[in-house]
Amino acid sequence: MARKSKNNDFKKYLKFILPIVILILLVVLFFSYPSNNSSSSTTNSSKDGSEKFSFSLFGNNDNSCKYNDGENCLNTQSKCICKGEQICSPDRSKSDNLGCYTPFCGDGYIDDGETSGTCCIDAGCSGSLICDANLNQCVKPQCPFDCCVNDAQYQDKFCLQYYSCNSLRNSCEPDDSDNDAFPDYLEIQTGTDRFNPDTDGDSVLDGYDNHPLFNYLPRIYNFDWRYGKEWLIFTKKFEFDLTLSEDIVTSYEKMPKINLISRDDSQLKEVAQIMNNLADAEGYNDADKLMMVIAFSRSFNYDYTKLNFNKPLPDWANFPMETIIKKEGLCADSAVMAVALLKEMGYDTKYLVGPCYEPDTGSWHAIVGIPFVEGITLDGSERYLTYNGKKYYYLDATSRDYSGNIFYSTTSKNDFGTTYCPANNFVVSDD
């Protein structure tokens, strides 16, 4: 029996397998050939311009949203899908790459569920009511907070949270739980403590503090003046520095001008302690300590911008520390400062005010009134007034050269019981 040739067997094998291989290659080429709509990321161009093919058994099955090619949630809903609370709104400026947008009250668009009751900031109000942006409530334009008035046209008779009804004004007014001139609703928005009047602890009430959450820009203020003999004809020079936050300085301009003398001021207490320490270092008795403070007051300049001083403490009068920081003021400012500072140092002082001349020519003056102080020698020429059975001697807190810039004015114990005003109609004024 003749044996079959191996070559013949191999040829038969090739004839059988070759068509199958060719068919598989054609199928692969067909599915991997890039279409005209394929993104640039699936086609690579060679340097000579010929295209390289990605041979994939499954073709290009990328179902991601091709927002670079203009696809978005509106024109390609099957691929560009919004999530969670998002809505499809490619026309809104703050929508994401897919055209999806997260709506919120106050974005300027009226979305589903937003009405005048839930979001009047976007939806507006009906009738004559207007939207109060702070409260997000529709209120009357003439009185935004009169919620507690019996008014048929305004059905909400209850004050909103953080507001209480003022029965005298028949209106809802902001609550201020810690009486710091900063309403509770603003404290919540700002992040301050509505039960702590001084959140950052800088001694300034939150309502008058430019930066109520932290201390701001401490500054050093320098002071110097002269009093008493140091050697022969030379007078003793006193100096001290005071570090204050800028928020403390600006707060004096914001606060209502009440209780100028009786106001509890930690900075004034600090100055009083400095004065006591300086006097103690010199071994001064009460009389020299008193006159040293008067000399300090007399070292301030005259404030020409405040010439219209009137009988009562004016609205534009300085707080004691305000005068000290500015180093200037009128006689009223200097007298207020000296009286308050001497009180802190333990002296019984009064603020005295009266006309300078008789008859009254409209020229008024303010000075310090103080009882007799040990270390003063009286000669009977001293001027005083009697108040509640007690003598208060005149003491001028401003220099005799009150109309000019004063650098170092002369001050001595002989000034006790004097003032340059010849009239004698001074009275004790409330502080």
Q: Is a pLDDT exceeding 50 seen at residue 59?
A: no
Give the model's pLDDT for residue 393. Answer: 97
Banded pLDDT at 130 (limits 50, 70, 90): confident
The CATH number of the domain holding residue 239 is 3.10.620
Q: Is residue 15 part of a domain?
A: no
H or E segment to which residue 322 belongs: helix 320-326
Give the separation between CA 121 and CA 114, rounded to whole angstroms. 9
Range of the domain at 259: 218-428
For residues 425 and 364, the answer to whether their CB atoms sit within 8 Å is: no
Q: Is residue 13 part of a domain?
A: no
Query: By percentage, how much of the chain surpasses pLDDT 70?
Result: 77
Which residues does residue 368 pair with via DSSP β-bridges, in sequence order? 351, 395
Banded pLDDT at 151 (limits 50, 70, 90): low
DSSP secondary structure letter of residue 50: P
pLDDT digits (tens, 9 = 90+) for 69-122: 889 999 998 889 998 889 999 998 888 888 999 998 888 899 988 998 899 988
For residues 109 and 122, the answer to whether their CB atoms sit within 8 Å is: yes
Domain match, 92 and 224 both: no
Which residues does residue 131 pair with via DSSP β-bridges, in sequence order? 138
What average pLDDT does range 393-411 have in this prediction?
Answer: 70
For residues 381 and 345, the answer to whether their CB atoms sit within 8 Å is: no
Domain boundary among 102, 119, 154: 102
Give the separation between CA 312 and CA 366, rounded to whole angstroms. 10
Domain match, 255 and 380 both: yes
Domain boundary among 102, 125, 160: 102
Q: Is the peptide bond before 359 cis (omega within 30 degrees of 0)?
A: yes
CA 232 to chain centroid: 53
Residue type, 243: T
Tokens of 213: 């959450």
Report the length, in residues, of the chain: 431
- For tokens 């005149």, the residue is 394
Give the separation between CA 353 and CA 336, rounded to whole angstroms. 11
Q: Is residue 139 part of a domain?
A: no
Give the separation between CA 30 and CA 56, rounded to whole angstroms. 10
For residues 367 and 297, the answer to whether their CB atoms sit within 8 Å is: no
pLDDT digits (tens, 9 = 90+) for 414-428: 999 999 888 888 999
Q: Is residue 279 part of a domain?
A: yes
Which residues does residue 88 pair with via DSSP β-bridges, in sequence order? 100
Q: Is a pLDDT exceeding 70 seen at residue 25?
A: yes
Give the separation between CA 194 and CA 177, rounded to whole angstroms. 6
Domain boundary among 102, 120, 153: 102
Closest CA to 384 of 426, 337, 338: 426
Q: Is residue 169 part of a domain?
A: no
Q: Is residue 342 part of a domain?
A: yes
Contacts of 36 (CB under 8 A, 6+ apart): none
Domain match, 229 and 358 both: yes
What is the dihedral angle through the alpha carbons of 374, 379, 384, 385, rounded to the nearest 10 degrees? 90
Q: Confirm whether pTM is higher than 0.75.
A: no
Domain match, 232 and 365 both: yes
Domain match, 383 and 243 both: yes
pLDDT digits (tens, 9 = 90+) for 365-387: 899 999 999 999 999 999 999 99
Give the model's pLDDT for residue 11. Answer: 60
Q: How many domains does the chain have?
A: 2
Q: Is residue 78 part of a domain?
A: yes
Give the separation between CA 413 and CA 99, rounded to whole angstroms. 84
Q: Is residue 126 part of a domain?
A: no
Give the separation between CA 58 and CA 34, rounded to whole angstroms. 12
Reduce the DSSP state of residue 420 to 3 states and report it: coil
Q: Is a pLDDT exceeding 60 seen at residue 42?
A: no
Banded pLDDT at 326 (limits 50, 70, 90): very high
Q: Is a pLDDT exceeding 70 seen at residue 15?
A: no
